[in-house]
Amino acid sequence: MSDSAVIYASHYGFTEAYARWLAEELAADLLQVGKVRREDLEKYGTVVYGGGLYAGGVNGISLLVKNAERLQGKKLYLFTVGASDPMDPENIANIRKGIDKVLPPTMLESIKIYHLRGGLRYSQMIMVHRTMMAMLRKVLLKKPEAELRSEDRALLETYGQDISFLDRAAIVPLVKDIRQGTVCA
């Protein structure tokens, strides 16, 4: 057993791919969120949690919230995975707003957060996600062309197609920080 755990929640496999890569790089235990028991968290000094982004929220983040006391004093890392470009400051600000609303202030002070790019798998989407994407498309189609961001245009161009932005190199900064024990102060 490792002193580190990578825990993830993934609908379409993008978050799972990053979690597997992280677990390999860190020689950490890999745990799916639905199979984690509260007492499992006590075994680890370092906990890395990954969840996909859906409608402004992080999939499965309630595990962290419900176990905030158990996780105190541990090195905590959170990585989100979504189709939006993590290099776009507006995207990061929107993701952070959602996280800031959910995580307790004490956890926000001690957790280090990373954003990775996943993709879209329309061919596997459940109805609710497919409907959300269709509504987003309708909103974007009503916007004047001049108001569309490059990401909006890309979404319209690839609507209905499976696309992947998975990049193993994207985990390098996270792996480096975990190895160095870097956490928020």
Class of domain 4-121+162-180: alpha beta
From the list 114, 116, 117, 125, the residue with the least C-alpha distance to 12 is 125
pLDDT digit string (tens) for 38-93?
888 989 999 999 999 887 789 989 999 999 999 999 999 999 999 888 888 888 88
Name which of 33, 83, 23 is nearest 63 in CA terms.
33
DSSP 38-98: GGGGGG-SEEEEEEEEETTEETTTHHHHHTHHHHTTSEEEEEEEESS-TT-HHHHHHHHHH
What is this structure's pTM? 0.91
For the chain, where do the domains classified as CATH 3.40.50.360 start and end? 4-121+162-180
- pLDDT for 124-157, tens place per residue? 999 998 999 999 999 999 999 999 988 888 889 9
